[in-house]
Structure 1
Amino acid sequence: MSSAVTNPSPWLTLILLTLLCVLLQYAGLDEWLIYQRQAIGDGQLWRLLSGNLLHTNLWHLLMNMAGLWVVVFIHRMHYAHWQLALLLLLLLLLEGAGLYWGFPQLMAYVGLSGVLHGLFAYGALCDIRIGWRSGYLLLAGVTLKVIWEQLQGGNAQMTQLIDARVATEAHLVGLLSGVLLFAAYTLLSSRPNRNAR
């Protein structure tokens, strides 16, 4: 899922994810898709993934979609279509699972911002892997942002704009998920190919 892929084509994945989020914003399915801890505990496991795709209002949706496109544009050289699709799916799943097991006090959640933090961290680590020193700055920046949020809470203006508390827990889970997935990818890709002769 990295190594400066030649001729990357992540745009189809972005278009499909954007369309899905817009569709879900107006589909009236929040009752069945929102991340709700009680419902997940009752067996509605799809909410671990689908809650990330919903948004509190139009501003929330627009900010997350803009963030998604900017983050992928910055690191587009690392992804082909299927690689980005797989990475996003894994981040979506880890985000939901991480919130469920790591933050039992969080009863409900919507938004893609946690996944965006993971995607940003993963891309920064890909930059570092191919020797781009700017990756260290990007990784340090997102890490310091998340630490600051854990200590100080979310931005008050953002809370007002999205009409909900900023779930800083999601940003932490996303960051850790991105680092974990990069470590797993690095480990798997460094193993010798037993089929090679």
Structure 2
Amino acid sequence: MKNGPYWVAFAVTVICTSFYLAGLMLPEVDHLLSFRRSGIEQFEWWRLITGNLLHTNHWHLIMNLGGLWAVVFLHHFHYNVRGLTALFMLLCLLEGIGLYLGFPKLLGYVGLSGMLHGLFTFGAVQDIRCKMRSGYLLLLSVIIKVGHEQWFGASDDVTAMIGARVATESHLIGLICGLICAFAFMLRKPATSVTSS
């Protein structure tokens, strides 16, 4: 457990919750850290990462953190602390860059959901590499989900719950980034069995 990925999930939970509570007391926190195109254009590069760590309300926070713990639990055997930390930071950065370059009309974004789609996708590919048939099902399911959202949009119930439009484009970027990271990982490290991960 000393080197387990659950410590990363715990650290992200503490950071996201702290940012949320700080934002309730000091609105300047959200203004300073959220993904804002206008700020990024003024060379405030940190927003590409920190925007992923902010949330619109407590339901948004709870849903995203619940998703994080579920994804880590699902694929915990693929990770150690250092590897998952690096992957988390990379996916957050790529999420921000992807949204900035790919969707110029998107002026603002907060939340972990895009990164979570990337992490889920990465884990599904690792399952496939370890010859776990469930990996194919997981990968297909996230592709279908994201494709459905691109055509039909997000659930009205979720939109109402988080008090903001669900940025489904972030889910698409997350899926793409997860695939990019997975294939890059494949090039540098041969597949191993689940028991030796």
The alignment partner of 1:27 has SS state of: helix
Q: For 1:126-185, what per-residue CA distance to the aligned partner results, in whole angstroms no more than 9, with x for missing partners? A: 000000000000000000000000000111100000000000000000000000000001
**Counterpart of 1:163 in structure 2: which amino acid?**
G
Q: Partner of 1:121 in structure 2?
A: 121
TM-score (norm 2): 0.92
Distance 1:7 1:42, change over 3 A: closer
Letter of the aligned partner of 2:80 in structure 1? Answer: A
The corresponding residue for 1:94 is 94
Asked whether the equivalents of residues 98 and 173 of structure 1 are also in contact (C-alpha less than 8 Å), the reply is yes
Aligned positions of 1:76-87 closer than 5 A: 76-87=76-87
Among 24, 27, 51, the residue aligned to 2:22: 27
Report the AA paired with residue 139 of structure 1.
Answer: L
- How far residue 189 of structure 1 moved from its aligned partner, in angstroms, is 1.9
Map 1:2-17 onto structure 2 (within 5 A).
9-17=4-12
Deviation at 1:11, TM superposition (A): 1.3
Partner Cα distance (1:131, 1:25) in 2? 40
Which has the larger share of helix? 2
What SS is found at the alignment partner of 1:104?
coil
TM-score w.r.t. length of structure 1: 0.92
Q: Which residue of 1 aligns with 2:37?
A: 37
Distance in structure 1 (CA, Å) of the matches to 2:186 and 2:21: 39
Deviation at 1:123, TM superposition (A): 0.4
| Residues matched between the structures, number | 185
Shift of 1:7: 8.8
How far off its partner does 1:8 sit? 5.8
Which residue number corresponds to residue 108 of structure 2? 108
Percent identity of paired positions between Structure 1 and Structure 2:
50
